[in-house]
Chains A and B, each alone.
Chain A
């Protein structure tokens, strides 16, 4: 069944699974099978922000003053974040939209990806502020072998799924001969790849991002690169929401709530889930080693970051109903909570550092003392 942008069939939305059912037609939200996705969309919209709202002028000065090994930590971390959001800004759309069957889920996927593009734009905003030539940083993302190794593990499950799903959309199930290559398209295998892909997305959002957030906040904890941390706070708030979205998809699947076949797949893939989480933790630890290869920074070193990787991996796999992988229990970076807490995020433009609101501004606070030498 080739993809159509407007499915003419008439069908009952409530009968449709999240994916691989009827293709969507009317983008209507009056009847919703999974209302949570509508709630997520509304929450995400209420989070809207723009990178330019955050003033980064002090970061430039801070960055120039950082010792070389800390510059390495900061820039490498930023490259990794850029890579992750480059992937997340397009992949959910490319992978999931062609096979989605519920309009509210379709819109959530679009909203989700869109907010990742804001994150990508904010990295450019940061890079422009800290170095005269942004290409030095961006070009290295595809050249540096440590970063490309990260890219391989981040994109593998996406690419595996998209490869097969493209054939499925064009040719349907069966054994196809394409350019002298035999391609076996089987819906069960496709669903399995989708499930593993969502697990790997969950790992990306729930572990990989948080490790990078820890580095960004560690600078700000010492009152360095605070503008950057402010942006990362906004990103972290969005990611916490995306994480919830992905957890919902995975749990709805695992419970067979709309497609019993996915429940079987979730059962089959239990070992794979543990493997994906464990692999990610190992990769993040290797990354920590690369970050701190020339020296640690005050408040964060390789060991603490590795402990944080274990802690956050335990937390996230626990949220999916699995047992802990590592023995560590407590959060080695307790201060990170106050950075991740959205109460601290200023959203209204007049509250944040948007400069246009400050032009010609006066101090409007009047105290009785101000009128002290005022005679009538």
Chain B
């Protein structure tokens, strides 16, 4: 007789090995399952809805799985980002330039973070960027979309004000 598929039995054991006893009447006195139909404590008051929203809990400039090409035993190249107002940043591990700048306390306008709204467009004064996916927002000559590009060289950029 083929063994019954596992999972039919709560213990995960074949029936002949299953020593768990189920008593239908009165057997569950001290082992009541630990749940309540209604929470005993009042639910905590709802905080501002924003706390449920997208708030980065990781630092994108810290090594972690990223869409950048994995190079065995080598760190991704480090690029230097210079803003025309004098601020500076570095780019190494982040998934895109926008999150890298944000992680380094440089505020950038953003909305969709997917390349279609165009809120994060910036002027590329010097350097080269790469898009993993072609951005949909309209870009004028010399403009880049920070939410979907990564640098290919050191960059000199001007953010929108």
Contact = CB atoms under 8 A, between A and B. Distances in A.
- The answer to whether A and B interact is yes
A240 B109 contact: no
Interface stretch (A13-21, A156-164, A336-344): A336-344
A90 interface: no
A151 interface: no
A243 B118 CA distance: 9
B106 to A, nearest CB: 14
Contact of B50 (A40, A221, A329, A376): A221
A329 B11 CA distance: 64
A210 B70 CA distance: 40
A315 B113 contact: no
A241 B119 CA distance: 11
Contacts of B134: 39
A376 B19 contact: yes
A315 B109 contact: yes
A99 B57 CA distance: 50
Contacts of B119: 315
Nearest to A334: B107
A40 B136 contact: yes
Given A221-B48, A221-B50, A248-B138, A376 B20 contact: yes
Contact of A43 (B31, B136, B161): B136
Nearest to A363: B35
Given A319-B138, A341-B54, A343-B54, A240 B117 contact: yes
A341 B138 contact: no
Interface string A225-240: 0100100000001001
B98 to A, nearest CB: 11
Contacts of A36: 136
A244 B50 contact: no
A376 B111 contact: no
B6 interface: no
Interface in B97-151: 109-114, 116-119, 121, 134, 136-138, 140
A240 B116 contact: yes
A36 B116 CA distance: 11
Nearest to B47: A223
Most chain B beta-carbon contacts within 10 A, residue among A43, A244, A247, A343: A244
Contacts of A43: 116, 136
Given A318-B160, A319-B138, A229 B49 contact: yes
B40 interface: no
A340 B138 CA distance: 19
Interface in A296-344: 315, 318-319, 321, 329, 331, 335, 337-344
A375 interface: yes
B55 interface: yes
A222 B34 CA distance: 35
Interface residues of A, number: 38
Nearest to A246: B138
Contacts of A220: 49
Contacts of B74: none
Nearest to A321: B140
B113 A342 contact: yes
Most chain B beta-carbon contacts within 10 A, residue among A240, A329, A373: A240
Contacts of B50: 221, 335, 338-339
A251 interface: yes
A370 B11 CA distance: 13
A251 B138 contact: yes
Nearest to B137: A244
Contact of A338 (B46, B54, B138, B140): B54
B69 interface: no
Contact of A244 (B19, B48, B136, B161): B136
Contact of A223 (B49, B116, B136): B49
A241 B110 contact: no
B39 interface: no
B105 to A, nearest CB: 14
A243 B19 contact: no
B132 to A, nearest CB: 15
A283 B119 CA distance: 23
A59 B114 CA distance: 30
Contact of B111 (A221, A226, A240, A248): A240
- What are the nearest 5 A-B pairs in CB distance? A240-B117, A338-B53, A223-B46, A340-B111, A247-B138
21 contacts: A39-B136, A40-B136, A43-B116, A221-B49, A223-B48, A223-B49, A240-B111, A240-B112, A240-B117, A244-B117, A315-B119, A315-B160, A319-B121, A319-B138, A337-B111, A341-B111, A341-B113, A343-B54, A370-B34, A373-B31, A376-B11
Given A241-B117, A342-B113, 4 more contacts: A221-B49, A240-B111, A341-B110, A344-B54
